[in-house]
Structure 1
Amino acid sequence: MNRVHLKQNAKEIVRRNYIPWLLVGIITIILSYANSQSQVSSEFDPVSFFDIRVRWLNLLQLILTVPLTRVAIDLTDGVYQNATDSLFRNAQWVRDIAAMIIVGIYTVLWTFLFIIPGVVKGYAYSMVPYILADDPEIGIADAIKLSQDMTYGYKIDLFIMDFSFVLWNIASALTFGLVGLYAVPYQNATWTQYYVYLSERNE
């Protein structure tokens, strides 16, 4: 897999449909921030752990993860028409939310063993939202197994790909998120490109 070529393709995909990618990116940033605030609150302030605003945003993250991934896949495959169609087409809300909860629990349990197994399993389960978004018929257990099969032998490469965005993330922090308006869509597009690559190899 040529990572440089993959990232170049991701840049071109974002360039062609920047606004939809930007909307996905902004929602991703908001939900990721809510998740980080939730983790900080739960560790240092037991009272604010029950902050309703944070809880609602966490719930939205569970609900929107797979639909937003479907938007990204449609944009990557060149079949995107509008956000409504991509978000709600073949939506399996109960399955998708349950799957993300299960994946979260599995990852946390592996992390309890040690940090490194948790990180490894995080990458092993990383394709689950893409698989669910791509296949409305697949079950949760099958999606998790398929994600582990797809990422077998590629976890280090996924880690390196993530690490390659470190400077983008630093620049985003230094510019109070301004650079993130391009960096987050670019990163999302790259991950989606990687999913397409792995899914084609798995056929």
Structure 2
Amino acid sequence: MNTYRTRAELKTEVKRLLQGNWKKAIALYLIPLILLLITNGSSNSHSQSDVQYNLTNFDISHIFWFATSLGIISFVLSIVFFLINVSATFRGLDWIEDPQLDFEPFKSNFTYFRSPDWWKLIFVYVLTSIFTFLWTLLLIIPGIIKGIAYSQTYFVYKDLNDRGLADNYSLTDYITKSRQLMVGNKGRYFVLQLSFIGWWILGGITFGIGLIWIYPYYKLTMANFFHDLVEQNPNYA
């Protein structure tokens, strides 16, 4: 039986990592945070629909909304924003796995612009989001459940590529592996997300200023969640 870390343990480990390293963490996630606020603000200013950028996952409705209502330029910008976000996210996982890791936070935001496999991330992004969107068309709750099941897809992609196993898998396999890892863990993930509601409220009350510290804490905790999953399921590949 797997013994996963508790929610408190996951957060405590991240807090320990951040002690004395807040400057590095803020520098790593500042650009993704600014882009998040810009795109979310732009979406709200152009539409009163329910299409919003999702802090929990990358939302395909957001990127399609930009593509159709604002044109191809905004669509391309959304892809650029995604690559910046995922580059920082992956560096965060590297940091979780190696707390002594020496890296340049700013340059880490552009890691996957230099990767020859950047296009794979885009296709995984689109496939994952389409599957979630289609489930949501049926019913909201199944869509949320599937979104949680697919939430580790990008981390799975990175982990398997780092292990040199990428050639053994198709793009949809990363989604399948995420779904398999999340069996029995969707409730844990959901509660972990809920535990940040108070922090998001605080970020709103401070007009976004508090997010400078909250966002790195949140992103690294999500990376630590995946790290815990892999530690307990080392042979998932």
Do both share a fold (TM > 0.5)?
yes
Structure 1, gaps ≥5 residues long: none
Q: Structure 1's 139 and 32: CA in aligned 2 closer, same or farther, altered over 3 A?
A: farther
CA distance in 2, matches of 1:194, 1:168: 18
In the alignment, does 2:234 pair up with 1:199? no
Name the counterpart of 1:103.
128
Choose the corresponding residue for 1:64, options 59, 84, 99.
84
Displacement, 1:155? 0.9
Provide Cα deviations, 1:99-118, integer angstroms capped at 9, x if missing partner: 01111111111111111111
**Taking every aligned residue pair, what percent have the same amino acid on both sides?**
26
In the alignment, does 2:218 pair up with 1:187? yes
Displacement, 1:20? 3.4
**Aligned residue pairs: how many?**
202
Provide Cα deviations, 1:58-87, integer angstroms capped at 9, x if missing partner: 222332343222211111122343344682
Displacement, 1:139? 3.3
- Tell me if the contact between 1:103 and 1:125 (Cα under 8 Å) persists in the aligned partners: yes
TM-score by length of 2: 0.75
Provide Cα deviations, 1:100-156, integer angstroms capped at 9, x if missing partner: 111111111111111111111111111111112223225321211110011111111
In the alignment, does 2:151 pair up with 1:129? no
- Tell me if the contact between 1:108 and 1:118 (Cα under 8 Å) persists in the aligned partners: yes
CA distance in 2, matches of 1:122, 1:80: 33
Residue type at the aligned position of 1:33? L
Q: Structure 1's 105 and 129: CA in aligned 2 closer, same or farther, altered over 3 A?
A: same
In the alignment, does 2:29 pair up with 1:29? no
In the alignment, does 2:143 pair up with 1:139? no
- Counterparts of 1:64-83 in structure 2 under 5 Å? 64-78=84-98, 79-83=101-105
4+ residue runs over 6 A deviation: none
RMSD: 2.7
In the alignment, does 2:142 pair up with 1:117? yes
Choose the corresponding residue for 2:13, options 9, 18, 27.
9
